[in-house]
Structure 1
Amino acid sequence: MLTVGDKLPSLKVPVQQGSALPAGETIDLGETNGKWKILFYWPKDFTFVCPTEIIGYGELAQDFADRDAQLIGASTDTDFVHHAWRKADERLAAADFPWIADNKKELADALGIVAPDAGVAFRATFIVDPDNIIQHVTVNGLNVGRNPQETLRILDALQTDELCPCNWQEGQEPLRPAA
C-alpha cells in the first residue's frame, strides 16, 4: 500500500460529477493546480455506511475548498452507477465533488487498497500535498465509517508545517520545543 512520502499515481481516471449523465469525463491525478487533494475511497455504491461518509465529506466540501484542497471521492463502481446513486438520493446529489469511477481498479490497485476477499476498495483516505506527495493515510475495514471532520483537522495540522500535539485544533498553538 502506498503511504506517507509516496507520490500519488499520475493516472487519468473516469469521474462522475453532478446530475448530468456521464459523458467520458476524467480527472488527471497528476495535475495539482497548487492544491491539496483529499482522496477518499468507499467500498460500493448503494450500500449503508458509504452514503453517511459521502454526505459527511460533502457537508465539509466548502471547508476543504477554503483550505485549497480538492475533495475527490472514489469507488470501484462505474460512472453510470455513481450517477444512478446520486439520482436516487438527493443528499448524495448535493455532494457535488468528483467521484472517481475506478471499475477497472486501476487506481485502487496502484494505491494497494483492494480488499482481497471482497474485491472492492477498503475505506481509505489519502491527504496529498500540492506536490502530489501523500502526507496522511488512514484505512478502515469495510464495516466502519470514517470521520470527515478528523480528515479536516489533520489537513489543518499538516498545513501548519509545525509540530501539532494530540487533538490539536485549528487556532491552537503548535508545540514549540525549547531550544
Structure 2
Amino acid sequence: MSIINTQIKPFAATAYKNGKFIDVTQETLKGKWAVLMFYPADFTFVCPTELEDLADHYSQFKDMGVEVYGVSTDSHFAHKAWHDTSEAIKKVQYALIGDPTQQLSRNFEVLIEEEGMALRGTFVINPEGFIKLMEVHDNGIGRDASELLRKVKAAQYVAAHPGEVCPAKWTEGAATLTPSLDLVGKI
C-alpha cells in the first residue's frame, strides 16, 4: 500500500541547522509545505552533491513557502561534523535531521534494514501533514533539485486549483488539464 495521501506518522528527532541543534516533530512540518530528502549517510559521495544542489535552490523553495529537511540515519552530531568539514555541506542552510533510531526512515518506508541506512527518498508534504509526492530510488542515482522544484510547484498548483491536473513536463504558467467527458479521447 502506498503512503501517498496519508498523514505523516508521529516522530521526534534532533536536527542540525545553522550552528544549532533543533527539535523536529511531525508538528514542526505542519502549517507549510515541506520536503524531506532522505539520503544514505554523511561523509559519502553522491550525498554531498545532492545536498549542495538542494542548498543552491533553497532560497527558491523558501520563496514558495516550502521548508526543506535532509534526513539520514546519522546523528545530529555527525551532521554538524560533516557541515564543519565539507565545502559542499557548508552551503546547507536547511535542517539536517538525525535519525539514529531509524524511526523516521521506517515511517517513510525507506530504511534498508540490513544496512541501517535510508534509500534516496524524496517526500513532499502539504501544510496539513499529508504526503503528496514521493520518489524513492537506488542509492547510486542522484537527484536534481530543479526537477524537485517543478514537482513542488505542480503539487502546490493542484492543491490551489481543485479539479485541475498538471500534465507531463508542466511548468509554472503552462496550461493544465481539467478532466471531463469532453476531454476523453482528445489527448
> Is the TM value for this pair above 0.5?
yes
Mapped partners of 2:61, 2:54: distance in 1 = 9
Letter in 2 for 1:156: K
Cα 1:142–1:177 change in 2 (3 A) is closer
Mapped partners of 2:177, 2:108: distance in 1 = 32
Mapped partners of 1:28, 1:60: distance in 2 = 24
Q: Residues 1-179 of structure 1 correspond to what in structure 2 (within 5 A)?
A: 3-20=3-20, 22=21, 25-32=22-29, 34-161=31-158, 162-177=164-179, 179=182
Query: Residue 33 of structure 1: CA displacement?
Result: 5.2
Q: Secondary structure of 2:88's match?
A: helix
Query: Residue 72 of structure 1: CA displacement?
Result: 0.7
Letter in 1 for 2:137: N
Matched-pair contact (CA < 8 Å) for 1:19–1:93: no
Q: Secondary structure of 1:7's match?
A: coil
Mapped partners of 2:145, 2:136: distance in 1 = 13
Mapped partners of 2:16, 2:136: distance in 1 = 23
1:110-149 CA-to-partner distances (Å, cap 9, x unmatched) read 2221113322000000000000000000001111111111
Letter in 1 for 2:5: G
Q: Secondary structure of 1:137's match?
A: strand
Which of the pair has the greater relative contact order for Cα pairs under 8 Å at 6+ separation? 1
Matched-pair contact (CA < 8 Å) for 1:19–1:86: no
CA RMSD of aligned residues (A): 1.6
1:1-59 CA-to-partner distances (Å, cap 9, x unmatched) read 76211111232211111235x4xx21122234521000001000000000010001111
Letter in 2 for 1:49: V
**TM norm structure 1:** 0.91
1:79-110 CA-to-partner distances (Å, cap 9, x unmatched) read 11111111111321111111100011111112
Cα 1:79–1:149 change in 2 (3 A) is same
Cα 1:2–1:29 change in 2 (3 A) is farther
Q: Which has the greater radius of gyration?
A: 2
Structure 2 gaps of 5+ residues are 159-163, 183-187
Matched-pair contact (CA < 8 Å) for 1:15–1:79: yes
Mapped partners of 1:19, 1:35: distance in 2 = 23
Q: Secondary structure of 1:59's match?
A: helix
Structure 1 gaps of 5+ residues are none
Matched-pair contact (CA < 8 Å) for 2:121–2:135: yes
